[in-house]
Amino acid sequence: MATSPGLDKFIEMDILEFLDRKKGVSEGEVSASEAYYDDVKSALLEENVSKALDVIERAADDYNKIKDSDPYKDIAYNRFVEAIQLLEEYKGKGFDELEGVLKKIEESGIHNAKPLKINIFEERKRSRERKAFEEKEKEYESKEEIKNKMNRVMHELFINIRKKDLAASVNSYKSLRSLFHQFPSRFIDEKKEAYNDLLSYYIQIKKLKKEIQQKKSGSAASASAESHDDVNKKKYLNPSTINNIIKGIREDVKGKDFAGAKEKIIELKHLASNIPEDQKHVRALFESKVSAISQKVELAKRRWEHSQQE
């Protein structure tokens, strides 16, 4: 039966289009699928079964992304089958994870017919996601525990510095530094804040050490020390300085720069720690205000983080 000229032309154009596409695209797709085969083979030679399964899982994901109508899905299927055949050479060699995957491959009948989707790795993915979630939860709990310990040590360190007990301050600082090194690196912003706290206390201890050394050397007379305290009162209780810092904190919070706000809060804590001993009531009042500011910043940060997760 003869076909019409129009149909012949349509079929000819369709074949030419298919051949052109094959010429332009198949090289990259075939080379990618060959790479899967080579990567699986290389991993198995190292007896790294987990790595080999990762490669085959990736190949399955790429296969699933190809449209069913795409002729290159056949190429991807054939290469996938070649890759999983490599796994069978390691059957019965004591690799539990491999045995489980081979069983799923056999049950799925992938060898015999091209499936619409390759789903044999779904359980493996869920297991990996579950493990990652559990590890994340464990790391979060560890981070919270370390933060609580750091807060207790910082409170102790603050008191020791106020008492001008250098030896006790140094010991507390060492404990704080040890806890900081245990802080999980994944929580970048919080670890940065912890570092700022550590640095803050390091600076205060250096000042305390210098002050004690000066007193021991007798470089400062009693009258001069009292005069120095008067200067400190004026310096650290300067309303203009404090207002500028607080204004900076507001601007940082408004711009969602919570790390910057934290640094300025540390500045206020420095001011508080340097208020002379004979001004305890002033220092206590100032510290309570700094604590209130810190709590408001932390609340604003949590609200912002919660809004980003929604």
User: What percentage of the chain carries pLDDT values higher than 90?
Assistant: 8
Q: Give residue-wise pLDDT tens across range 92-125.
A: 776 777 777 878 877 777 777 777 778 777 878 8
- pTM over 0.75? The answer is no
pLDDT band at residue 134, thresholds of 50, 70 and 90?
Answer: confident
The more confidently predicted of residues 243 and 232 is 243
Helix (H, G, I), strand (E, B), or coil: what is residue 171?
helix
CB-facing half-sphere around the CA of 158: CA atoms within 13 A: 18
User: What one-character DSSP code corresponds to residue 67?
Assistant: -
The per-residue pLDDT of the chain, averaged, comes to 77
pLDDT computed for residue 94 by the predictor: 67
User: What one-character DSSP code corresponds to residue 66?
Assistant: S
pLDDT computed for residue 179 by the predictor: 92
CA–CA distance, 280 with 272 (Å, rounded to integer): 10
CA–CA distance, 245 with 264 (Å, rounded to integer): 6
Listed range (68-72, 225-229, 267-271) with the worst mean pLDDT: 225-229
Of all helices (H) and strands (E), which one includes residue 299?
helix 280-309
pLDDT computed for residue 132 by the predictor: 83
The domain locations on the chain are 24-110, 150-217, 235-302
The CA–CA distances, whole Å, from 256 to 188, 259, 293, 300 equal 16, 9, 15, 9
Closest among 254, 163, 246, 147 to 204, alpha carbons compared: 163
> First vs last Cα of the chain: how many Å apart?
65
What is the DSSP code string of 183-199?
Answer: S-TT-HHHHHHHHHHHH
CA–CA distance, 178 with 50 (Å, rounded to integer): 36
CA–CA distance, 7 with 279 (Å, rounded to integer): 100
CA–CA distance, 282 with 208 (Å, rounded to integer): 20
Helix (H, G, I), strand (E, B), or coil: what is residue 257?
coil
Most distant CA pair in the chain: distance in Å? 121
Residue type, 78: N
pLDDT band at residue 150, thresholds of 50, 70 and 90?
Answer: very high
The answer to whether the beta carbons of residues 108 and 65 sit under 8 Å apart is: no
